[in-house]
Homo-oligomer: A and B are copies of this chain.
Amino acid sequence: MAGRRRGFDREEVLDQVTRAFWRSGYDATSVADLTKLTGVNPPSLYAAFGDKKALFNEVVERYRRTYGAFTTRAVDEEPTARLAVERVLREAAVEYIAEDRPRGCLILSAPELGHLRKAAIAALEDKIRHDVDTGELPARTDPHALAVYVAAVVRGMSDLARDGATREELHHVAEVAMSAWPSPVP
Contact = CB atoms under 8 A, between A and B. Distances in A.
Copies of this chain in its oligomeric complex: 2
A111 B156 contact: no
Interface residues of A, number: 35
A48 B179 CA distance: 51
A154 interface: yes
**What secondary structure prevails in chain A residues at the interface with B?**
helix
B151 A156 contact: yes
Interface of A: 27-28, 108, 111, 114, 117-118, 142, 144-146, 148-149, 151-157, 159-160, 162-165, 169, 172-173, 175-180
Given A152-B156, A152-B160, A153-B156, 4 more contacts: A144-B169, A148-B165, A149-B177, A152-B153
